């Protein structure tokens, strides 16, 4: 059986492969006092390709606030997104979901 794989576009200057990032779910921590959720939102809103996003507080302790940030759009600039979040003083810990392609693909839980 043969599998056909679509060749991805490559930037001739950097050699980086471009992908149409449609959704990212990020685990992001911030300090309790600053930045505010609005500060983070303002920064994310400037990133190329971002059409909508949600910031949800998942956990609060004495010094930090753990959030989950879901970002949707078309050709989201991942490096720009991380840089924008980092610039506020918040920290991206992990990418927990990634959707790439011409349309959204939803997660389907397997039943065992």
Token digits of residue 92: 């991206």
> Taking the model in full, what pTM does it have?
0.80
Q: Residue 96: in which H helix or E strand, if any?
A: strand 91-100
* pLDDT value of residue 17: 55
SS3 call for 40: helix
Residue 25 domain-assigned (yes or no):
yes
| Tens place of pLDDT per residue across the chain (112 aa) | 444 445 455 444 444 457 899 999 999 999 998 999 999 999 999 999 999 999 999 999 999 999 999 999 999 999 999 999 999 999 999 999 999 988 777 777 888 8
Residue 82 domain-assigned (yes or no):
yes
Residue 91 domain-assigned (yes or no):
yes
Residue 107 domain-assigned (yes or no):
no
Residue 16 domain-assigned (yes or no):
no
Structural domain harbouring 47: 21-100
End-to-end C-alpha distance for the chain, whole angstroms: 27
Spatial distance between the Cα atoms of 28 and 64, rounded to a whole number of angstroms:
10
pLDDT digits (tens, 9 = 90+) for 86-112: 999 999 999 999 999 887 777 778 888
Residue 96 domain-assigned (yes or no):
yes
Kindly report the number of other CB atoms within 10 A of residue 67's CB atom.
21
| Domain of residue 87, CATH code | 3.30.70.1340
Residue 2 domain-assigned (yes or no):
no
Q: Give the largest Cα separation in the chain, rounded.
A: 56
Domain total in the chain? 1
């Amino acid at each position: 059986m043969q599998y056909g794989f679509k060749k991805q576009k490559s930037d001739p200057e950097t050699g980086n492969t471009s992908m149409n990032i449609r959704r990212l779910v990020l685990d992001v921590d911030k300090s309790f006092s600053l930045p505010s959720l609005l500060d983070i939102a303002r920064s994310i809103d400037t990133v190329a390709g971002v059409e909508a996003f949600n910031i949800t507080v998942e956990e609060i302790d004495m010094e930090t606030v753990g959030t989950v940030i879901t970002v949707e759009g078309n050709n989201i600039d991942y490096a720009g997104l991380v840089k924008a979040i980092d610039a506020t003083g918040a920290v991206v810990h992990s990418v927990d979901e990634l959707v790439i392609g011409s349309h959204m693909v939803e997660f389907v839980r397997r039943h065992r």
